[in-house]
Amino acid sequence: MITGKNYIGNELSAKGNITFNTFDPKLNIPTEWNFHEATDGEIDTAAEKAQSAFKVYKNTSGEQRADFLIAIAEEIEGLGDVLIESYMKESGLPEGRAKGERGRTMGQLRAFANLLEEGSWIDATIDTAQPERQPLPKTDIRKMQVPIGPIAVFGSSNFPLAFSTAGGDTASALAAGCPVIVKSHPMHAGTGELVASAMIRAVERTGMPDGVFSNLNSSGIEVGQKLVMHPNVKGVGFTGSIRGGTALYQLANERKEPIPVFAEMGSINPVVALPGALMAKGEDWAKSYAGSITLGAGQFCTNPGLLLGVKGKELEEFGSILGKEIEKIEPGCMLHPNIHKGYEKGKEELSSQSKTEVVASFDTEVPPNYGKQRILKVDGSDFMANPKLHQEVFGPFSVLVQCENTDELEKVIDQLEGQLTGTVLGNEEELENYGPVVEALKNRVGRLIFNGVPTGVEVCPSMQHGGPFPASTDSRFTSVGTSAIQRWVRPVSYQNWPQNHLPDALKDNNPLGIMRLVDGKYTTSKI
Amino acid sequence: MITGKNYIGNELSAKGNITFNTFDPKLNIPTEWNFHEATDGEIDTAAEKAQSAFKVYKNTSGEQRADFLIAIAEEIEGLGDVLIESYMKESGLPEGRAKGERGRTMGQLRAFANLLEEGSWIDATIDTAQPERQPLPKTDIRKMQVPIGPIAVFGSSNFPLAFSTAGGDTASALAAGCPVIVKSHPMHAGTGELVASAMIRAVERTGMPDGVFSNLNSSGIEVGQKLVMHPNVKGVGFTGSIRGGTALYQLANERKEPIPVFAEMGSINPVVALPGALMAKGEDWAKSYAGSITLGAGQFCTNPGLLLGVKGKELEEFGSILGKEIEKIEPGCMLHPNIHKGYEKGKEELSSQSKTEVVASFDTEVPPNYGKQRILKVDGSDFMANPKLHQEVFGPFSVLVQCENTDELEKVIDQLEGQLTGTVLGNEEELENYGPVVEALKNRVGRLIFNGVPTGVEVCPSMQHGGPFPASTDSRFTSVGTSAIQRWVRPVSYQNWPQNHLPDALKDNNPLGIMRLVDGKYTTSKI
């Protein structure tokens, strides 16, 4: 049941008088669910509970935390259709997507549970003593990762489940041993509360400390700001706009004790379409890209917003087929009137730039809040001269840039801001012949894709979801995949520490059986 | 020969008119060496050369970079006594320390060469394709670390060799595949230039690209600021004061594209002296700590500036023996009149705080620039009430805090800012009985030491040198030990990338023979 209250640790709480409703974008009316904004007092209590919970939670075993994550997945599944219905109502997204995203959310929780059970992620590194070393003896030193403290997680608008309440940021922080305070996304606060209720049941079921998880409602920015500035909060996970993420990043750096902010922000995900690929499979790629650009009404951070190529018959044909294909696709409902308004505004703003030309545009009337796709075309030199064209338009929109030659193509890529992904459509020979273009692309992105589409982000150890600024605030970390746990830990060395008092991960007999770096060699053996 | 010029890549350059001399603190007169400050044009050229060099250098093999690092070590050794003499003259430090630090500097370079030859640091992670997976096939994804770009390194005052020109920051960045521009420390610009000349010889000898290393002179802050703001610079390494490091950190965050700043700043390195240890070995510990506090005239970032204990006979005796022992020690020459002046000012400022008492003070006359040791004593409640007493005084100075009981001891530790190290003097039983105290300490530090002194930092894989802010700007990384390389890299994923075009680290047949995480299992095997 959706109560509209906050979870301050395990307690439902509604001390504030400011309330807001979520919105059904398909019916274009507010939902019946009314939410109480968290008050300053509630934020403080959540932060204090998180601090107390941390003292216990950081010392739970990997196995205990794995059980907790699995219990969360089970409780989410246990919510049944109620969750799917609130998801659809608050997001306008279809049932298939809702169920797929629920599966991914549970899959992520289970992937982190597996990671904890395997245990090597803790990076145990041991250098044993050398008492006979000259000129000075060497003492025993052992290092492992420890959790940094309570984390504030900001739910994202476009992933009500997989990147919100119990999404990737929360799952990775809880896996690391950090309590989490979620600032629920106001567009799907009901879905958020349902998931939070499942999480609280999992907290109680597995005996985790009260305060290890809280869920705060807010329709404005103040609750989030207060959370980021709270001295008990030691890190922030965010998925959203460049403006929002950068503001939180700057705020966190102004604290007396700055804290890391992992903001996954904008990306236009450049796609380099080389002539060989277009010659061989231009029509297929045009169809794939029409699908990728409009997938989920274009509301993915990996949406291909920039198609790059060298002028010629192949690129022209590709553009023309892409245009025809994309006009055939039925537009989808966007997440919220504000998202839709932002999309239409951005689309028109870019379309009105001089030297741009519309390749394709869906212009038939659609219901309110549906995002109508459009493709623009511009020359490489005009694109480089106008940074407005480099901006992300969040929705089913893409710009096709026609470069004069390979040099110009390389220059265009060099000038791009940091991106999550970069794709090359080509044949193997072209990878060789366009070496500097591919190198330039690699320099601007976190993930390179060969002959594919950037949408569809695998949750696996090898995934890098994050790229040079402003794709994310810290390109050294990923927000998708099991490596995301590394954002919430820091190493601690134990020097000359007695065996019995070392954490299990660092004991001579390796009771966890994990991979460790011992005296420079990787091994799962005892010492 | 010391020319007083900058190295802009491989070229000696002195385009500016502003010059400064280094200083001989023992003779208390300027040296004969006169240095040209780098001009804006020289900074730009160094940054442009670094950018061009990066395009080549990032694609060198681990073996090539290992050869380069070894060549640097050899060329530094080849400088012979000239280097030792300039080091001693510009720092006032004795010959033994100069030679020891040279050995450590070469050792660090060789340790990174070994790391590159071994190769697993690159974190190769492979998830192979599952074309049959339902509901969607899984594509092949492979991830590894790549260098982030040119790095600005700020030489430290207290390690003219091991944390300056070719020190830990430079060695780790070059190992990662990043060009380096050093802002030479003005107190030992001559020693810096000698090392730079050795590095340039190594660049030429091993065929590395011009611009992979530059060395800029500057006595003020402008050259460093300009460097940090230069768009070609992608990361910063700094060792020095909280004020200096925080200023660079804030500056870097104000860039259009913020970049990481790894500043290793202040620390007072709390030592918790438990009664059992003092009862058993109080006199030995007092002697060890008299030595640790005055080692190198107290000019180490791991200098124990804070001794914590619970009131009682044991702590009183320990303080009294420590006082006697420390007064016996002959003061040493400090690095520079400014450092000495800062020390005397800080020492007097803390000594003049109410409720403090002098335990021991060396007050006999000494030559100019010699740092005279002092120990203060204060009660736990008074210490907590006065944050001034928590400040680092860079030199042979320490505050002994007497707590009423264990609870107060824990509170004092909880209130401390982040620290590089925390030490426990105790017996094993005490580790158990004082669990919350040890946990509190762990929460504030990067390295825990049992029954030892914090000075003396091993260069090894398990070393964590860095702690919660303000000990360092990013507690998730170390500036000492081979893990320091992780500061200068970011992961890139290759999705569906053809075998022949993958980096060697990610190829099926594992030509580098490195440890990789393949489909969730650690292995050095081929796929």
pLDDT at B509 (0 to 100): 98
Whether residues B311 and B370 share a domain: the answer is yes
Nearest CA of chain A to the CA of B36: how many Å?
A: 34
Sheet hosting strand A270-273, strand order edge to edge? A357-361, A374-379, A397-403, A306-310, A270-273, A419-425, A445-450, B489-495, B141-147, B125-127, B516-518, B521-523
Q: What is the CATH number of the domain that holds A255?
A: 3.40.605.10
**Catalytic position from the list A37, A193, A264, A417:** A264
Q: Point out the residue among B148, B253, B470 whose CB comes nearest to the CB of A253.
A: B253
Q: Are residues B361 and B228 in the same domain?
A: no
Q: Across the interface, do B448 and A501 touch by the CB < 8 Å criterion? A: no
Residues of A with Cβ-Cβ distance to B445 under 8 angstroms: 492
Q: Which residues of B495-507 are buried (b: 16+ CB within 10 A; e: fewer)?
A: bbbeeeebbbbbb
| b/e B331-350 (16+ beta carbons within 10 angstroms → b) | bbbbbbeebbebbeebbeeb
pLDDT of residue B1: 87
Q: Do A146 and B442 touch (CB under 8 A)?
A: yes
Q: Which of B114, B474, B493 has the most A C-beta neighbours within 10 Å, making it the best mutation to test the interface with A?
A: B493
Q: Residue A135 has what pLDDT?
A: 85
Over residues B28-49, mean pLDDT: 98
Report the alpha-carbon distance of residue B38 to residue B217 in Å, rounded. Answer: 6
Write out the catalytic residue numbers of B.
264, 301
B407, B376 Cβ separation under 8 angstroms: no
User: What are the two backbone dihedrals, phi and then psi, of residue B28, each rounded to the nearest 5 degrees?
Assistant: 60, 35
Q: How many beta-carbon contacts under 8 Å exist across A and B?
A: 183
Q: What amino acid is encoded at B508 in this protein?
A: D
| B339 shares a domain with B279 | yes
How far apart, in whole angstroms, are the C-alpha atoms of residue A302 and residue A421?
A: 7
CB contacts, 8 Å: B428 with chain A: 498, 500-501
Amino acid at A130: Q
pLDDT, tens only, B127-166: 999 999 988 899 999 999 999 999 999 999 999 999 999 9
Tell whether ipTM is more than 0.90: yes
- Write out chain B residues lying below 8 Å of A506, CB-based: none
In this prediction, residue A402 has a pLDDT band, given cuts at 50, 70 and 90, of very high
Q: Is position A522 within any domain?
A: no
* Cβ–Cβ < 8 Å for A150, A51: yes
Q: Which amino acid is at A182?
A: V
The reply to whether residue B253 touches residue A250, judged by beta carbons under 8 angstroms, is yes
Tell me whether residue B190 is in a domain. Answer: yes
Q: Which of A316, A326, A323, A306 is nearest to A400 (CA)?
A: A306
Residue in B194, B226, B222 with CA at minimum distance from that of residue B43:
B226
Mark yes or no for CB contact A462/B125 under 8 Å: yes
Query: What are the tens digits of pLDDT across the range B449-480?
Result: 999 999 999 999 999 999 999 999 999 999 99
The pLDDT of A201-207, averaged and rounded, is: 98
Q: Helices B189-205 and B81-91 sit at what angle, rounded to 10 degrees?
A: 150
- pLDDT value of position A266: 85
- Decide if A505 is inside a domain: no
User: Which residue is closest to A135 within chain B, CA to CA?
Assistant: B100
Give yes or no: residues A201 and A332 share one domain.
no
Interface test with A, best of B232, B462, B522 (most A CBs within 10 A): B462
Does B341 share its domain with B362?
A: yes
**Same domain, residue pair B217 and B278:** no
* Plot region of B156 (φ>0 → left; ψ -120 to 50 → alpha; else → beta): beta
What confidence score (pLDDT) does residue A42 get? 98
Q: Are residues A254 and A284 in the same domain?
A: no
Q: Tell me the pLDDT tens digit for each residue of A342-363.
A: 999 999 999 999 999 999 999 9
Chain B nearest C-alpha distance from A143 (Å) = 5
The angle subtended at Cα B176 by Cα B171 and Cα B179, nearest 5°, is 70
Average pLDDT over residues A152-167: 97
- Kindly state the tokens that stand for A318: 């590709």
Report if residue B497 sits inside a domain. Answer: no
Please work out, in degrees rounded to the nearest 5, the angle formed at the alpha carbon of residue B189 by the alpha carbons of B187 and B191: 105
Instruction: Test B450 with A498 for CB contact under 8 angstroms.
Output: yes
Question: Which residue from B250, B461, B489 is facing A520, i.e. has the nearest CB?
Answer: B461
Q: What is the pLDDT of residue A287?
A: 97
A462 vs B141, B475, B515: nearest CB: B141
Question: pLDDT above 70 covers what percent of chain A?
Answer: 100
Question: Is A96 in the same domain as A158?
Answer: yes
For an interface test with B, give the residue of A428, A429, A460, A493 to mutate (most B CBs within 10 A).
A493
Residue B41 lies in a domain: no
Q: Are residues B232 and B301 both part of a single domain? A: no
Share of chain B above pLDDT 70, in %: 100
Q: How far apart are CA A391 and CA A411, in angstroms?
A: 17
Q: Which of B250, B494, B517 sits opposite A253 (nearest CB)?
A: B250
Residue A400's CATH number? 3.40.309.10
**Partner-chain contact A464 B493, CB within 8 Å:** yes
- The answer to whether the beta carbons of residues A336 and A157 sit under 8 Å apart is yes
Q: How far does the CA of residue B341 sit from the closest CA of chain A (Å)?
A: 27
The nearest CA of chain A is from the CA of B17 a distance in Å of 35
H/E run at residue A129: none
pLDDT mean over B513-523: 97
Question: Where in the sequence is the domain holding B177, given as residue range(s)?
Answer: 7-13+48-121+145-265+475-487
pLDDT given for residue B209 in this prediction: 98
Q: For residues B172 and B109, what is the distance between their CA atoms, to the nearest angstrom?
A: 8
Residue B463 lies in a domain: no
pLDDT at B135: 85
- The pLDDT of residue A166: 98
Subunit contact B141:A460, Cβ cutoff 8 A: yes
Average pLDDT, chain A: 97
Question: CA A9, CA A53: separation in Å to the nearest integer?
Answer: 9
Mean pLDDT over B98-106 rounds to 97
Q: What DSSP line would sit under B23-92, residue for residue? A: EETTTTEEEEEEEEPPPHHHHHHHHHHHHHHHHHHTTS-HHHHHHHHHHHHHHHHHTTHHHHHHHHHHH-
Decide if B446 and A139 are in contact by the 8 Å CB cutoff: no
* Total domain count, chain A: 2
What is the rounded distance in angstroms from the CA atom of residue B410 to the CA atom of residue A180? 25
Region of A312 please: left (phi>0), alpha (psi -120 to 50) or beta.
left
Average pLDDT rounded to a whole number, residues A266-270 = 94
Averaged confidence pLDDT in chain B? 97
Asked whether the beta carbons of residue B495 and residue A428 sit closer than 8 angstroms, the reply is no
Q: Identify which of A127, A447, A464 has the shortest CB distance to residue B462.
A: A127
For residue B317, give both structure tokens: 């005796």
Q: Is the pLDDT of residue B266 over 90?
A: no
Distance from the B337 Cα atom to the nearest Cα atom in chain A, whole angstroms: 31
Note whether B226 and B278 are same-domain residues. no
Give the mean model confidence (pLDDT) for residues A37-50.
Answer: 98
Q: Can you tell me the mean pLDDT for B159-179?
A: 98
Q: Is A74 a catalytic residue?
A: no
Residue A421 DSSP SS3: strand
Compute how many other C-beta atoms are within 10 angstroms of the C-beta atom of residue B249: 24
pLDDT-derived band at A454 (thresholds 50, 70, 90) equals very high
Is the pLDDT reported for residue A39 higher than 90? yes
Give the 3-state secondary structure of residue B518.
Answer: strand
- Tens digits of residue pLDDT in B210-230: 999 999 999 999 999 999 999
Are A255 and A303 found together in one domain? no
Please determine, for residue A40, whether its predicted confidence score (pLDDT) is greater than 90: yes
Distance CA B245, CA B254 (A): 14
Mean pLDDT of A384-390: 97
> What are φ and ψ of residue A8, in 5° steps?
-100, 95
Q: What are the tens digits of pLDDT across the range A64-83?
A: 999 999 999 999 999 999 99
Percent of chain B at pLDDT > 90 equals 99
- B414 contacts B439 by C-beta, under 8 angstroms: no
Is B35 inside any structural domain? no
As beta bridge partners, residue A23 has: A30
Judge whether A501 lies within some domain: no
Of the pLDDT bands very low, low, confident and very high (cuts 50, 70, 90), residue A264 is very high
Cβ contact B257–A470 (<8 Å):
yes
Alpha helices in A352-458 (DSSP H): 380-385, 406-415, 428-433, 435-444
The per-residue pLDDT for B269 is 98
pLDDT tens digits for range A482-511: 999 999 999 999 999 999 999 999 999 999
Query: Which residue of A249, A442, A461 is in closest CB contact with B125?
Result: A461
Sort out which chain B residues have CB atoms less than 8 A from A126's CB and list them: 462
Same domain, A219 and A300: no
Name the minimum distance, in Å, from the CA of B268 to any CA of chain A.
17
At A143 the pLDDT is: 98
Distance CA B268, CA B390 (A): 8
